[in-house]
Amino acid sequence: MNEFTIDQVLIHGLYGDLLLCTAKASNVQYIIKQMNTRMLETNDDEASENGIEKELQAYALIQCATTSTAKKGANAIVGLVDSFTEDGYVHLVLEYCVQGDLFEMLQNSPRELFYWDDAQRYFDQIAHGVAFLHNECGLAHRDISLENILVDDVGDCKICDFGLASIDCKRETRPVGKRYYMAPEMYSDDGYDPMAADVWALGVLLYMMHTGLPLVEKAAISDRIFAYIQTHGLRAMVKAWRVQRLVPMQALDLLENMLIIDPTQRMTMADVVRHPYVASPLFA
Cα 163 to the chain's mean position, in Å? 11
Which of 101, 124, 143, 161 is the catalytic position? Answer: 143
Per DSSP, what are the bridge partners of residue 55?
A: none
C-alpha–C-alpha distance, residues 30 and 6, integer Å: 10
214: helix, strand or coil: coil
143 included as an active-site residue: yes
Helix (H) or strand (E) holding 210: helix 194-211
25: helix, strand or coil: coil
Q: Which of 211, 205, 157, 135 is CA-nearest to residue 177? A: 205
Distances (CA, A) of 134 to 29, 74, 126, 130, 197: 30, 11, 12, 6, 12
Positions marked active-site: 143
